Amino acid sequence: MTVAAALRLTEERLAAAGVETPNVDAELLVAHVLGVSRSQLHAEREREVPDGLNELVERRTRREPLAYVLGEWGFRHLTLKTDARALVPRPETEIVVERCLALLAGESAPRVLDLGTGSGAIALAIADEHPGARVTAVDSSPEALALARENSEALDLAIELHEAGLEAAEEGWDLVVSNPPYVAASEWDSLQPEIRDWEPRAALVGEGLHEEIARRAHTLRLVLEVGDEQAESVAAALDSLGYSNVTITSDLTDRERVVEGIR
């Protein structure tokens, strides 16, 4: 089957399965099996597609996240290994890293804690873009930590990795960053199949964790990712706990996504 035919048939199958972006997903899947970039596909339209595409398409039609199907995903300047041990790194979380780097500007060797690191995306991006930072990443999931360690080794970015929960924030840091679970249990059934059926529930469902982190953190700076319509209440909590310069930053879709403060 040629690339042109594979793209057409794959898009049709994904659309029938309810995938929201069948055209983009088809291009990424075909490019992956060819070992080329998505932008190169149009120069390869008459090339024969090797074996392996059908298995990947089958997985995607079952609404397995594209990042898991491909086994890797881009996050800022990094390409991370991705699978069901941790959440898919999302574009909105790149804004979290951006705010961390802005707060750390001018600091030569800040001590940074990524609380609930998952795949290691935030911690590794900070280590990559602030080479002097001494980054520690913790998670309560041994499986997620194993994935973060694999990413650290593959990228040759040295970060400390430990199994721990919120207590790690009490040790004393220059910056604590977290993308904690913030989906209400009542919302679970309404989530997309890619999230509900595949991503780790424990990394998604939780309430009140932003305030608890803010209360327990012994840190000069705090950066938190928040869910839709949560920013104002989280900012108010930081204010009440004595944080100053509390700021809300929107993501690229103009949703209020990051709350930060200084102590």
Beta bridge partners of 224: 178, 259
Beta bridge partners of 83: none
For the record, the structure tokens of 262 come out as 């200084």
Model pLDDT for residues 47-68, shown as the tens digit of each residue: 999 889 999 999 999 999 999 9
Q: What mean pLDDT do residues 180-188 have?
A: 93
Q: What mean pLDDT do residues 200-222 have?
A: 96
Identify the pLDDT of residue 190.
93
Model pLDDT for residues 231-254, shown as the tens digit of each residue: 999 999 999 999 999 999 999 999
Identify the pLDDT of residue 87.
97
Place of tokens 């090339």: 47
Beta bridge partners of 115: 138, 178
For residue 136, is pLDDT > 90?
A: yes
Q: What mean pLDDT do residues 180-185 have?
A: 93
Q: What mean pLDDT do residues 113-118 have?
A: 98
For residue 44, is pLDDT > 90?
A: no
For residue 42, is pLDDT > 90?
A: no
Q: Is residue 20 within 8 Å of residue 63, measured between CB atoms? A: no
For residue 127, is pLDDT > 90?
A: yes
**CATH 3.40.50.150 for the 77-262 domain, yes or no:** yes
Q: Is residue 116 within 8 Å of residue 179, measured between CB atoms? A: yes
For the record, the structure tokens of 61 come out as 């039609």
140: exposed, middle or buried (Cβ count in 10 Å: 0-12, 13-18, 19+): middle
Domain residue spans of the chain: 3-62, 77-262
Identify the pLDDT of residue 226.
97
For residue 46, is pLDDT > 90?
A: no
Place of tokens 């930081």: 238
Summary mean pLDDT of the chain: 96
